[in-house]
Amino acid sequence: MRREWSIARRLFLAHALFIVVLTVFVGTAFFVDARDRAYDETSARMLAVATAIADSPLVLAASASADPSMSLQPYALQVSADAGLDFITIMAPDRTRWTHPNADEIGRDYIGAIEPARSGTAFTEISTGTLGPSVRAVVPATDADGTVRALVAVGTTTSNITIALNARLPSVLGLALGLLASGSAVTWLLGRYLRRVTLGWGPERLAQLFVYYDSVLHSVREGLVLVDPHGDLVLYNDQAAALLGIPPSPAAGSDERPLTLTTLSLPPGLGELLRSGRTAHDEIHVTDTRVLVVSQEPAVASSTPMRGAKPTSMGFVATIRDHTDLQNLGSELQSMRTLSDALRAQTHEHSNRLHTIVSLMELGRTDQALEFATKDLELSQRLADEMVGSVDEPVISALIMGKSAQANELGIALTVTASGTLAQSGLSIQDLVTVLGNLVDNALDAAAAGEDPRRVSITVSSSERAVVIEVADSGAGIAPDVVDDVWRLGFSTKDAGAHDTVGSVPGRSIGGHGLGLALVRQAVMRLGGTLTIGRREGAVFTVAIPAVTSPVAPSPDAPSPDVARAAVEYD
């Protein structure tokens, strides 16, 4: 049953028991101290009275008389009554009493120690005599020569001391009860606080939940990040550390300080999202090497064992999914769509030419139909030979041929210049398709929005050191104030129904817009290349990628991963 007790209940009971024990201890200590002080004060008073009586000339004069009791007994009884004492016994040095509250005891021996006093030293003691236990002082009465002529014993019974001591008990009990009440109140307030912060759970339950949740956190394939309201990373799994490029989460019980979002080098958009704590659903964030989909919700303690507990915000939880592979598949699908568009355009053109040939043959102009078909075949073959001859990579050739068909439909003159051997550059075809395809799409859209003559030129050069791709258009170019924003995810300059492009009017994009150039930047940064934006007739995008056999980390001289800075050059 005690395993079900909450931390607050356990602490309350333990603290209450501690307060009770402390109260008993303190109360006992106060009582003992009061008792000791009462005895000390009584002993001091007895010693003072006995000394005063021993110094009285009457005592010395009476001690030399034949009957000392005659003069000393009335004196002793009067002083006892005036000082509130139980007895004053004046005796001879041989213990014979000269005075006593009970006249029958006069002449008998004194019960108690007198040796120190007979030696001339006053002393106090607690002893039992004819009147019972008492605190007494014994002082010698000496003459001018220092000879002890009499002994004076003054005392009060301990029952009288107990009565005086009991008079202090209310204050001691009051102090003990006050300590108990204040300690209980503090314990109750602390218990309420602990019930609130621990949700009323016990330590075993909390430890079990932590182990379960920590196991779940590190077993899921998605990245999970738990952040408190102050921006500290409370917990995150290994997948989140890998996706965000941060150190692994410290082990449970570690003394390492939690990481703070402000100290981490995160992509600007992703860092802003995590620091803000706002709610997000499937937001796309492009890093140097990955495409991440991030969702974020507040962590609210809405269901607690405590009745009437209000929902409490404990921070927020972000889930991070890696969609890089999915985006690569999307890029390949986009390439296939480009090729299918090219086939559709070619089919449409071929249908027109076929109808022309059939119509000429129906009109009986067979020679003209044959001549038209021959010239059309020569034109198509020459275009294919030029493309294949310019770019020796089949996939890139097919991509450019598709873009050429698109350009022809849009009334744009597309020219291609190639040099070197692209197939031996060692670069991934998927990365080249992503870079070239998105740049050409942007150029076609920019040129289509411009004025005649509309042109797009593609230059691909490959050497042993690098592959350089340059795509220029006759569009409006890029305004200088948006150069830094061109590569950012979500940046777009077109209307809601358009694709990625660049131009003179900046805008923000949602949905599928503003992703193409961000993917270009990601691929180039991952391959250790550089990006520049220039201007001739329109915009000129130049990409330089080192020729390697496998992807490499960004070089130290490459642009900063946080923001792809573009150099703008004007003729």
| CATH 3.30.565.10, the chain: domain bounds | 388-570
For residues 463 and 467, give the distance between their C-alpha atoms in angstroms, rounded to a whole number: 6
Residue 417's DSSP bridge partners are 459
Residue 224's DSSP bridge partners are 319
For residues 124 and 103, give the distance between their C-alpha atoms in angstroms, rounded to a whole number: 24
Closest CA to 568 of 511, 519, 504, 509: 504
SS3 147: coil
Q: Are 352 and 372 in contact (CB under 8 A)?
A: no
For residues 326 and 553, give the distance between their C-alpha atoms in angstroms, rounded to a whole number: 22
Type and span of the H or E element at 264: none
For residues 292 and 60, give the distance between their C-alpha atoms in angstroms, rounded to a whole number: 112
pLDDT for position 520? 81
Give CATH for domain 388-570: 3.30.565.10
Type and span of the H or E element at 276: helix 268-276
- Top-level CATH class of 203-320? alpha beta
pLDDT for position 368? 83
pLDDT for position 398? 74
For residues 366 and 459, give the distance between their C-alpha atoms in angstroms, rounded to a whole number: 42
Closest CA to 425 of 289, 527, 564, 561: 527
Q: Full-prediction pTM beyond 0.85?
A: no
Q: What is the DSSP letter of 474?
A: S
For residues 461 and 420, give the distance between their C-alpha atoms in angstroms, rounded to a whole number: 6
For residues 407 and 414, give the distance between their C-alpha atoms in angstroms, rounded to a whole number: 6
For residues 476 and 505, give the distance between their C-alpha atoms in angstroms, rounded to a whole number: 10
Strand pairing category for 568-570 and 530-535: parallel
Region at 426 (left for phi over 0; alpha for psi -120 to 50; beta for the rest): left
Among the residue ranges 191-205, 249-263, 297-311, the one predicted with the least confidence is 297-311
Residue 216 in tokens: 């779940």
Type and span of the H or E element at 237: none
For residues 366 and 360, give the distance between their C-alpha atoms in angstroms, rounded to a whole number: 7
The set of residues, in sequence order, having a beta carbon less than 8 Å from that of 449 and lying 6+ positions away, is 475, 476, 501, 503
pLDDT tens by residue, 185-198: 887 787 777 777 66
Query: What's the rounded mean pLDDT across residues 284-293?
Result: 76
Classify residue 194 as exposed, middle or buried by CB count within 10 Å of its CB (0-12, 13-18, 19+).
Answer: middle
For residues 138 and 88, give the distance between their C-alpha atoms in angstroms, rounded to a whole number: 10
| CATH 3.30.450.20, the chain: domain bounds | 8-166, 203-320
The CATH number fitting domain 8-166, selected from 3.30.450.20, 3.30.1310.10, 3.40.190.10, 3.40.50.620: 3.30.450.20
For residues 521 and 475, give the distance between their C-alpha atoms in angstroms, rounded to a whole number: 21
Residue 242 binned pLDDT confidence (cut-offs 50, 70, 90): confident
pLDDT for position 299? 80
For residues 141 and 148, give the distance between their C-alpha atoms in angstroms, rounded to a whole number: 6
Residue 18, pLDDT > 50, answer yes
pLDDT tens by residue, 301-354: 654 444 555 556 678 888 888 877 666 676 667 666 766 766 676 676 667 778
Q: What is the DSSP letter of 97?
A: B
For 294, other C-beta atoms within 10 Å of its C-beta total 21
Q: Are 346 and 405 in contact (CB under 8 A)?
A: yes
Q: What is the DSSP letter of 424?
A: G
Residue predicted with more confidence, 233 or 52: 52
Closest CA to 97 of 76, 122, 121: 76
Residue 555 CA, chain-centre distance (Å), reads 33
pLDDT for position 554? 45
Q: What is the DSSP letter of 484?
A: G
For residues 258 and 250, give the distance between their C-alpha atoms in angstroms, rounded to a whole number: 8
Query: What's the rounded mean pLDDT across residues 433-439?
Result: 84
For residues 323 and 336, give the distance between their C-alpha atoms in angstroms, rounded to a whole number: 20
